[in-house]
Amino acid sequence: MIVIDDGSKEESQPIFVELKKDNIKVYKHEKNKGKGQAIKTGIEKIIEEDIIGIITVDADGQHIASDVKKVAQKLENGKIILGERTFKGNSQVPLASKIGNIFSSIYFKLITGISLKDTQTGLRGIPKKYFPFALEVNGSRYEYEMNFLKQMYHKKIEFDTVDIETIYEGRIKNFKPIKDSYRIYKEFLKNMVSSVICAVVDVGIFYLFVSKNINVFHANILARMISGVLDFVLNKKWVFQREMTSNTFFEGCKYTILFIIQMLISSLLISILNQYYAKWIMVVKIIINVIMYIANFYIKKKYVFVEKKNQ
């Protein structure tokens, strides 16, 4: 067993002194570098050992020895093993953690199509053959764990899960809700902001045209065309941060096809619903935009602004 002292404060040092007395190897970061980098340092220190793999265990008191054994037993099958906690119906879990895990699972399902009950688990088994992969995963703090899962999906790495205890009582948590959540979900959050900006532009232009007695079908097409150009630029350069390379042409073509299909669908829906809810047409427009936003993010992420395999 090895322990990473990730820039711990002076008052914590006696703990590491005691660990060393038990012949446990302790490696120290002079300053805090984050959980992701701590895991990478641990792998670097043990990569030459003749072992089947490693098991990462968080230092916040959530994981028990019997669950570590469960992961160890399944690790021999050569797959990455993820410990899965049960959140549903568990009164021990804080509401904020339940909400966070639900959102995280939905987000992961949205971008990969894979259902995971616990995307935030720190109890993971990594076979030795995947050590290089684990070292290549982007991120040095809490975002490393979500990036790890996303890169598993991109590289089609097989994984398995094992049920583990859900322990929250007395745990110590260093997770910073705003800063760390942004690191983990920044792509999704930035897409949300860009979508809001484009939606405001879209609805504003739509309202302007309708107020000028332009047919709602034509008004919606014009509004969608203008906001669509803005949406492409924001997604390309800001949300997904893709370079302006030769791929831009093909991304533009795929985006245009997606844009036209969604524009026609939304325009058709608005035209049909306008016959029944003319007084509420702006509300109808906003509801349709929200539905389109969810579908749009998934399609853009998976098929338009495709992430390179080595990223």
* Helices 247-274 & 216-234 angle (0-180, nearest 10): 150
Partner residues linked to 82 by β-bridges: 124, 161
Is pLDDT of 180 > 60? no
Is pLDDT of 44 > 90? yes
Alpha carbon separation from 51 to 72, 127, 288 (Å, rounded): 12, 9, 54
Give the pLDDT of residue 97.
66
Give the pLDDT of residue 311.
42
Span 87-129, pLDDT tens digits: 665 556 666 667 777 777 877 787 777 888 888 788 999 999 9
Span 202-255, pLDDT tens digits: 889 888 888 888 888 888 888 878 888 888 878 777 777 666 565 777 787 888
Is pLDDT of 132 > 70? yes
Complete DSSP assignment for 45-103: HHTTS--SEEEE--SSS---HHHHHHHHHHHTTSSEEEEE---TT-TTS-HHHHHHHHH
Gap between the terminal Cα atoms of the chain: 30
CA dist 151 and 120 (Å) reads 15
Is pLDDT of 310 > 50? no
Task: Look at 268 and 133; give whichever has higher pLDDT.
Answer: 133
Task: Look at 265 and 303; give whichever has higher pLDDT.
Answer: 265
Span 292-301, pLDDT tens digits: 777 777 777 7
Tokens 């332009």 appear where? 214
Span 153-171, pLDDT tens digits: 888 899 999 988 877 664 5
Give the pLDDT of residue 181.
60
* Whole-prediction pTM: 0.63
Buried b (16+ CB within 10 A) or exposed e, 163-188: ebebbeeeeeeeeeeeebbebbbebe
Mean predicted lDDT score pLDDT of the chain: 81
> Which element (helix H / strand E) includes 265?
helix 247-274
- Across the range 249-265, mean pLDDT stands at 81
The length of the chain is 311
